Each structure stands twice: as C-alpha cells, then as structure tokens.
Chain A
Amino acid sequence: MAEEHAPEHAQAPSVPALTRLLQESFPNAVLGHHQQHGDETVVIARAGMLEVFGFLKNDSRCRFNLMIDATAVDHLPRQPRFEVVYHLKSIPLKHRIRLKVPIEDGAAEVDSIAGLWVAADWYERECFDMYGIRFKGHPNLKRLLMYEGFEGHPLRKDYPKGQAQPLVDMRPVKERYSYGDFYKPVAQPAKN
C-alpha cells in the first residue's frame, strides 16, 4: 500500500485510538503507522509480533476475535522484500485494523498466529505456497493451492510470468496466437 499522506487539514492529523494504544503498549514493536479514510494500518516488527497479536485478541479494549485475511506482498527490488499483511476485525467493538510485518529475503520467517485464530491456518499455508514465507509454529505448513512437485513460489516477483509446470504430456495443438513474452506455452512434442 502506498505511503500516501493524508491531505493537510486545519488541525494536525491525530493518531487514531487503536494505533495510540498499540504505541503505548508496545513502543518497541510498532515501527510505523498510517491511516486513510477511516482505516488504520500499523507496521509491526517481527520480533514482538506474537505479543502484539495476543494483546489485540485478548485485551478488552481491542477484542479482535475475527481474522479476516493474512497475505503477503513482494516488493522486489525494494528491501525489506516481503511484507506480511494481516487484517483483523472485532465483532463486539466493531472496529478493524491492518497489521504489516516487513521481513527480509534471506530470513523470510514470521511467527504463526494460527494458535490464536484457527482461520489463519490456511491463509498462512497459502502465503507459504505463493511466496515461500515460513511460519514458525504452524501445525501443518505445506502447500495449499499448488500441487506436489511444483517447484518455486509463483507469486514472487522473480518467478517467470506464465511459466507452467505441467503434470501430463501436452498434445500438439496449432498455436494460432502469439502471446509475446508474457505467457510461455509449454514446450510441445514435435507435430506428427
């Protein structure tokens, strides 16, 4: 998400309540924050993330009982390369928050929140499948969408676009269209 600045108002933009709560409770873990159109985003350091998530789930001022989404972004060539993004929602208190955890390429590992929200189990498996980010403490970290034998992590920016890894032999078909260099149809056997 682009770090856009809110338009200048007459009064100084105030830090919203949840962000301030997190900044006061975990001053070392919060690396940054931004907000736009009523939503709040807090950037968390990887080191203390489990405490932050536990606090968000259990504290009576937060009570985030629903994990909406857990995904990742690949910012290659910018460093830190990956950013794991979580969306949480509180049903009793009716507020939402977005948390981002930046991680580097060589150490693409974060703590798993599947112990706190069971829904995170499959979201983290999808993240692992698509980006190769490992989740420490995940009960069953294996590929979710791609098949056994698929090599690589397809949503990384350095995975060749359109590169397929077929499981069955492809029959020879007449290639009527040129896809340019975007999509590479798999190599075909010589026509009979």
Chain B
Amino acid sequence: MGMKFPSGESYLTTKLDAVINWSRKFSLFQYPFVTACCGMEFMAVYGAHYDGARFGSEIPRFTPRQADLLFVVGTVNHKMAPILKRVYEQMAEPKWVVAFGACASSGGFYQNYAAVAGIDRIVPVDVYIAGCPPRPEAVLDGIIELQRLIQDKGPRGTAGMNPRQTKDPLVLSRE
C-alpha cells in the first residue's frame, strides 16, 4: 500500500480516483443544448418511460455554470457556433460533451452554407450518438458509454485525447 509508482500513483490514490469517478458518473448534471428535432427524443429519454434519471442524471441544469455534461442535441449552425463555444467555455471542470444525433455528430444530412459539419469542429466531444433521431435506447447506450469513459479515464479522457499529445487550445485549457 505504500508502494509508489513512477507516475505518483499508489493503491490509495487509485482507489480514491475510482470512488470519485464512480460518484461523478452517477451524478451527471446535464445541460441540454437543444436546437432541433432531436430535442423530442431527448425529452422522451428523460421522460418516464425511458427514464434517463435512473442513471443518475436526474435534473437538467439550464445554466452551464452548474452543469458538467453538455448534451448538444440537434443541428448547430454557423450562427449558433459562437454561442455553443461560449457555453462550453463557461462550464467548469470536469466536463464532458455528448453529440446527440446525426446533425451534431457530423452535420447530418445538411451539406450547406448554414450547418456546421459536426460539433467536434467547435468543441471536443466524448461520445457521439448517431441517429436521426436516435432511438431512446441508443441514447441510453450513449449515456452508459459515457459513464464507462468517466469511470475508466476520468475527466482527462476527453475524446480519447491525451492533453500531453495535443495542441488543441480547448483541450489544453482543461489542464
């Protein structure tokens, strides 16, 4: 128990990390950044039948200051892009981003002057949920995948990017 690893971890700190990540993954405060039709499916997921609250994400926070999970639901246009970026920057660490739906993941069926081809061109994304709109079961699968990500990698596991290997300013600011 007193053995130290080169990276400074020990049995106690890894167990502490595991407990903290466990508590983080089961108390996600989502900020539903809903712009379009996927919002209907978001409402269905957090309604009574599919119940996203049983995974711990009980109450939506409509202010980014109190949220740790940014659900980007629906199409994001170039007109909306600075607002999304500002909301993301206003969130405090630790924070995760889920791209909900085809438009948020890749631009969806829009290939035009108005829609951004995927929000990962604006903010780093952790989990992409595909579908137009995704079935609620697919959304729940995405939430569980995010929880697995939180448990295994913690807040530094953003989009698989190691902060030591990227020069992306949005990821570096999370150091």
Contact = CB atoms under 8 A, between A and B. Distances in A.
Contacts of A164: 78, 112-114, 116
29 contacts: A146-B79, A146-B114, A147-B78, A147-B79, A154-B112, A161-B112, A162-B111, A162-B113, A164-B78, A164-B112, A164-B113, A164-B114, A166-B78, A166-B81, A167-B78, A167-B81, A167-B82, A168-B81, A168-B82, A171-B120, A171-B123, A172-B168, A173-B118, A173-B121, A179-B111, A183-B112, A183-B117, A192-B166, A192-B167
Contact of A165 (B78, B118, B120): B78
A170 interface: yes
Given A154-B112, A167-B78, 8 more contacts: A147-B78, A162-B111, A164-B78, A164-B116, A166-B78, A170-B122, A171-B122, A179-B111
Interface residues of B, number: 21
A32 B38 CA distance: 45
Interface residues of A, number: 21
A185 interface: yes
A161 B116 CA distance: 14
Given A168-B122, A170-B121, A154 B167 contact: no
B85 interface: yes
A163 interface: yes
Interface string B11-51: 00000000000000000000000000000000000000000
Contacts, number: 53
Interface of A: 146-147, 154, 159, 161-168, 170-173, 179, 182-183, 185, 192
Interface of B: 78-79, 81-82, 85, 111-114, 116-118, 120-124, 166-168, 170
B112 A173 contact: no
B120 A192 contact: no
Contacts of B122: 168, 170-171
B79 A192 contact: no
Contacts of B82: 167-168
Given A162-B112, A166-B78, A171-B120, A192 B85 contact: no
